[in-house]
Amino acid sequence: MAIVALPMMDPVYIEWKNFLKTGNPYKCKARQPIVESWDRCYHGGLDPYDDKIHHGLDDLKLHKVLKEKEKLIEIAKPFMFKLHEFFKGAGLIVVLTDENGCILEMLCDEDTRQHPMSRCFYPGISWREEAVGTNAIGTVLKLGEPLQVSGAEHYCKKIHSFVCSAASIFDSNGRIIGVLDISYASRASHLHTLGIVAVIAEAITAKLGTWQKHCELVLLNKRMTNFFNTVSDGVLIVDNNEVVVEINPAGKAMLGKPEQYVVGMELNRLFDSRSGALLTASKRYHNIEIIVDTKADGHFAASREPILNDQDVITGGIIFLRQSKQVKGMVNHSNGNSATLQFSDIIGKSVEIREAIHVATRAAATSSNVLLNGESGTGKEIFAQAIHNQSSKRNGPFVAVNCGAIPRELIGSELFGYEEGAFTGAKRGGKPGKFELASGGTLFLDEIGDMPLEQQTALLRVIQERKVTRIGSDKMIPVTIRLICATHKNLLEEVEKGAFRLDLFYRLNVLSIIIPPLRERREDIQPLFEHFLEKLSCEQGCEFSVASEVIPYLTGYHWPGNVRELQNVIEHAACLAENGVITVGHLPEVLFAPDLCMVLASPQTDETIFSREQRQKMAEFTEKYRIISKLDAFAGNVSRVAKELGISRKTLYNKMRLHAIKN
């Protein structure tokens, strides 16, 4: 390769020679970007005297790169032609590379192409710093700013004969995707080449940005068109005069009218007077109920969003029509009418609870009505949610109603809904009942034994006919539900009393599940305690530890409030615990009731529940707690505590020593 000799007194050449001897960038007087590049090349182990031409990409890899950069080349090429025409005959090479310094395109005169120095320029060859040392293309990729590298500023001697001016090309995200470069022999002199290259690179960047914006708009338009044509909601677009300018296929199906009939028609003419007035009443509304005279279900919920121009002036609107049953599904979700609990959330390994779970799992596989029997606090709703989530209705709503918590005069409207004007205070537009909201899912009627007799008759009719009639209406609305009921009462006894219908009982009691009280599954108390305590730890962000003597008090208590009461006791103890340590003193007084203590200490206590040693230990814990609580109550006054306990001071002191109680 022919190398143009540089004057030996060229100050840059002298700096270059000195740097190669010392490798010390701090003693170099060359430009800072050049010295920093030399330093990178020096420490990268690049040979500055290697005069071999490094190889580029093979044909297959080059074809792949050219395909990926097809648009960059297409946009940059006209600018490169203008540059080439401007400098025609001046011996320049105009080069375009990708972000890896690989040459994608180059333009030059035929004479320049035949020149020996041009052997370093061909498609596929890389001009990264790591390959050819300091040069305009590779160093610009490092800096991101326009740069000119002349003569001995190049790190490798084989390209000292070049002057290169390069600038980066960016995408819309500010990432370098290419470099534009002009190279020529160092003996030639071309003023302002760096400025010209920088301006042209900016122009290419701008053109790429415009193209990318155009692509984004085309893509957005396609997406909007696909959405408009495939969305399940009916969509009508109206102009500022309330004239329909566009309607989607779902909207045509809902209205039962062809596009040519709808487009160009005013809303007031398209709908009846009431619905038309509602749709045009304001510029924005959400889920207002309208009725359309169609062959299919004509009940819709309509919503509207205004269309604004760039000056925020309303120029029209978009109206969304949705079937009423879809809106009911959204109402269920927003009102929390969904089940989140599974069978895995039921804590316990006792035979009794496992049997209840087994029966409930079998029940979930059917569509039959289920009756849950159990005391208050045993977790009947957890079972109901778990059955729903394992049934074929799991994708539908789960609506829970506590029949004992609703006033008897309102339970009918809650369950069956009502029409507008059905009674004084009725909501405008009416209101769907729980049966309608639960359609397609599960309706859970808790405390069914508290339902008034007159509503039991209506409930029986709905169960038999699978249709509901709103109060104040004669229209039958089909409902498809899974019915789960729960009660703490003995419904057969209620039937004998005349408080519950026998035929309704048989309808509900298809599959009966008995949920055992906590006192009948004492081996589940400790796992439940640990579960609730761990949950509290996560909620409060602190760790709790439990004194060993606490558990016997828990397992010895009869738990009339069942699991719910146990959860409350744990929260009570956690609130009082200092430094996160729960002791016997943090348990509520109800756990130390005198009658319970007598039962625990009594030799007649069923030994299948507690051994003699356990009863003795629990009695000792009870005595210790009583003494501690009395000392706290009387501020450590031993005489008062002894009198309160009915023992002498000496006996009290002996007991305090026995239990290691410090006053």
Per residue in 591-622, pLDDT (tens digit) is 765 444 444 444 444 454 455 665 666 677 67
Q: Are the beta carbons of 125 and 105 closer than 8 angstroms?
A: no
Rg (Cα) of the chain, in Å, rounded?
43
CATH code that applies to domain 335-516 = 3.40.50.300
Distances (CA, A) of 464 to 220, 468, 504, 506: 52, 10, 10, 12
Per-residue model confidence (pLDDT) at position 9: 62
99, HSE (Cβ side, Cα atoms, 13 Å): 11
Could you report the per-residue pLDDT of 383-417, keeping only the tens digit for each? 999 999 999 988 888 999 998 888 888 888 888 88
- How far is the C-alpha of 224 from the C-alpha of 239, rounded, in Å? 18
Q: Tokens 């300091």 — which residue?
A: 134
The two three-digit tokens of residue 251, written as one number: 């909207």
Per-residue model confidence (pLDDT) at position 199: 93
Per-residue model confidence (pLDDT) at position 448: 93
Pick from 556, 485, 542, 518: which is nearest to 346 by CA? 518
Per-residue model confidence (pLDDT) at position 505: 93
Per-residue model confidence (pLDDT) at position 327: 47
CATH code that applies to domain 232-328 = 3.30.450.20
Per-residue model confidence (pLDDT) at position 271: 78
- How far is the C-alpha of 316 from the C-alpha of 318, rounded, in Å? 7
**Which of 52-56, 140-144, 291-295, 642-646 is predicted most confidently?**
140-144
Higher pLDDT, 309 or 168: 168
Model confidence at 40, pLDDT cuts 50, 70, 90, reads very high
Q: Own/partner pairs for 204-211, CB < 8 Å, 24+ apart?
A: 204/75, 204/76, 204/79, 204/169, 204/178, 204/180, 205/169, 205/170, 207/75, 208/71, 208/72, 208/75, 208/169, 208/170, 208/171, 208/172, 208/177, 209/171, 209/172, 211/71, 211/75
The residues of the chain that CATH labels 3.30.450.20 are: 232-328
The residues of the chain that CATH labels 3.30.450.40 are: 11-211
Asked whether residue 584 carries a pLDDT value surpassing 90, the answer given is: no
Per-residue model confidence (pLDDT) at position 421: 73
Counting every residue written for the chain, the total comes to 663
Per-residue model confidence (pLDDT) at position 257: 84
Q: What are phi and psi of 168, to 5 degrees?
A: -80, 150
Q: Supply the DSSP string of 240-265, one letter for each residue.
A: TTSBEEEE-HHHHHHHT--HHHHTT-
Could you report the per-residue pLDDT of 139-198, keeping only the tens digit for each? 999 999 999 999 999 999 988 888 999 999 999 889 999 999 999 887 666 667 899 999
The two three-digit tokens of residue 318, written as one number: 């978009």
Asked whether residue 3 carries a pLDDT value surpassing 50, the answer given is: no
Per-residue model confidence (pLDDT) at position 594: 43
Could you report the per-residue pLDDT of 237-274, keeping only the tens digit for each? 889 888 999 999 988 888 888 888 889 988 888 877 66
How many percent of the chain have pLDDT more than 90? 32
Q: Is residue 623 within a helix (H) or strand (E), and if so which, with residue range?
A: helix 612-633
Per-residue exposure over 535-544, b if at least 16 CB sit within 10 Å of its own CB, e if not: ebeeeeeeeb
Could you report the per-residue pLDDT of 71-126, keeping only the tens digit for each? 999 999 999 998 888 888 778 899 999 999 999 999 988 777 776 666 778 899 99
User: How would you class 136 by CB atoms within 10 Å of its CB: exposed for 0-12, middle for 13-18, buried for 19 or more?
Assistant: buried
The residues of the chain that CATH labels 3.40.50.300 are: 335-516
- How far is the C-alpha of 646 from the C-alpha of 495, rounded, in Å? 52
Give the CATH architecture of domain 11-211. Answer: 2-Layer Sandwich (3.30)
Distance spanning both ends of the chain, measured CA to CA: 101
Options 3.40.1190.10, 3.30.830.10, 1.20.1270.10, 1.10.8.60; CATH for 521-658 is 1.10.8.60
The residues of the chain that CATH labels 1.10.8.60 are: 521-658
- How far is the C-alpha of 415 from the C-alpha of 468, rounded, in Å? 9
- How far is the C-alpha of 45 from the C-alpha of 84, rounded, in Å? 36
Model confidence at 303, pLDDT cuts 50, 70, 90, reads confident
Instruction: Compute the mean pLDDT over every residue in the chain, rounded to the nearest whole number.
Output: 83
The beta-strand segments (E) located in 272-418 are 285-291, 299-308, 314-323, 370-373, 398-402, 417-418
Lowest mean pLDDT among 181-185, 222-226, 508-512, 646-650: 222-226
* 513 DSSP β-pair partners: 372
